[in-house]
A and B are shown apart, each in its own frame.
Chain A
Amino acid sequence: MSYIAAVLLVIGALFSALAALGILRFPDVYTRLHAAAKAGPLGAGLILLAVAFASNDWAIAIRAVVGLVFLIVTAPVSAHLLARAALKIGSPLASSTSIDEYENNR
Chain B
Amino acid sequence: MSSAQALDIATTIGFALLGAAMLMAVIRIIRGPTLADRILGLDALSVLGVGIIGVFAVRTGLYLYVDVAVSLALVAFLSTAAFARYLLSRGHQ
Question: Which residues from chain A sit less than 8 Å from chain B, CB to CB?
Answer: 1-3, 5-7, 9-10, 12-14, 16-17, 19-21, 23-24, 29, 32-33, 36, 40-41, 43-44, 47-48, 50-51, 54-55, 57, 60, 63-64, 66-67, 70-71, 74-75, 77-78, 81-82, 84-86, 88-92
Contacts and interface: CB of A to CB of B under 8 A. Distances in A.
Contacts, number: 181
B40 A82 contact: yes
B47 A40 contact: yes
A92 B88 CA distance: 15
B43 A13 contact: no
B66 A47 contact: no
Given A16-B18, A44-B50, A82-B40, A6 B88 contact: no
Nearest to A86: B36
B51 A85 contact: no
A2 B6 contact: yes
Interface of B: 3-4, 6-7, 9-11, 13-14, 17-18, 20-22, 24-25, 27-28, 34, 36-37, 39-41, 43-44, 47-48, 50-51, 54-55, 57-58, 63, 66-67, 69-70, 73-74, 76-77, 80-81, 83-85, 87-88, 90-93
B72 to A, nearest CB: 9
B54 to A, nearest CB: 4
Contact of B66 (A10, A64, A86): A64
B44 A19 contact: yes
A67 B88 CA distance: 29
B7 A5 contact: yes
A23 B40 CA distance: 8
Contacts of A57: 63
A20 B21 CA distance: 5
